Amino acid sequence: MWISKRRWENLEKRVADLEKEVQSQPEKIMQTMQSYLYNQMTKSYLPRYQKDESQFDEQV
């Protein structure tokens, strides 16, 4: 089967782009997990901290 030079170059470019995308997937996954965990930590910490602070003010 014969493939033109132009088509072959396009296929090589697609394969290279796909390889680059696959290699960067772990980085994207880690960034997503980090931002999710950070958001969860700040959401759970801030309301509790503000609640404790307001109770402290009322006791004084």
Q: Is residue 56 part of a domain?
A: yes
pTM over 0.85: no
Look up the domain containing 40 and give its range. Answer: 34-60
Is position 54 within any domain?
yes
Confidence of residue 12 (pLDDT cuts 50, 70, 90): very high
In this predicted structure, the answer to whether residue 51 has a pLDDT above a threshold of 60 is: no
Mean pLDDT score, 43-55: 58
In sequence order, the 6+-apart residues with CB closer than 8 A to the CB of 11 are: 3
Q: What is the DSSP letter of 24?
A: T
Question: Is 22 contained in some domain?
Answer: no
Rounded CA-CA distance 10/4 in Å is 10
- 52 pLDDT band, cuts 50/70/90, is low
Domain count, the chain: 1
Is 40 contained in some domain? Answer: yes
Q: Is residue 48 part of a domain?
A: yes
Angle between helix 25-59 and 5-23 (nearest 10): 30
